[in-house]
A = this chain, B = another copy of it.
Amino acid sequence: MRGLHLTADLYECRCEQRWLSDGAALGAWLGEAASAAGLDVLQQLTEPAGDRGGISAAMLLPYSHVCVHTWPAQRGVAIDVYLASDAGDPSAKAHGLMTAFVNHFAPQWTEQRSLDRGGDDT
């Protein structure tokens, strides 16, 4: 049950507004980005996140997930990429996908963390 969990909070994103507020556009792009990163998505959810126009999205993968939340007014995005090591070292795919996210949303600055998960079962 080892895995790599990358988190990123993106501020003052300079991307087109639709990527922060258009659920259909964002959802389609997320699926394409996951496929381009070589990930096998089991299911995907994209939902309006309330009365302030944001989007909340989740992609479920085997023993893994990718979640994205957008705050259009603040031009902010919160991203989680959690990939299990069940199919080998997930580091390249996880970092590749996170880089694609950051390039896509084009933030002025980010706060990012990397967590090694589930390493105590050996």
Interface residues of A (CB under 8 A from B): 1, 3, 5, 7, 9, 11, 42-43, 45, 47, 49-50, 52, 54, 56-58, 60-65, 67, 69, 71, 74, 76, 78, 80, 82, 84, 86, 109, 111, 113, 115, 117-121
Contacts and interface: CB of A to CB of B under 8 A. Distances in A.
Please state the number of chain copies in the assembly.
Answer: 2
Contacts of A43: 45, 47
20 contacts: A1-B71, A9-B120, A42-B45, A42-B47, A45-B58, A47-B60, A49-B63, A50-B86, A56-B63, A56-B65, A63-B69, A64-B69, A65-B69, A67-B67, A69-B84, A74-B121, A78-B82, A78-B117, A80-B82, A111-B120
A68 to B, nearest CB: 9
A5 B3 contact: no
Contacts of A47: 42-43, 60
Given A7-B5, A84-B69, A45 B60 contact: yes
Contact of A9 (B52, B57, B67, B118): B118
A82 B49 CA distance: 14
B67 A117 contact: no
Interface centre among A45, A52, A113 (most CB of B within 10 A): A45
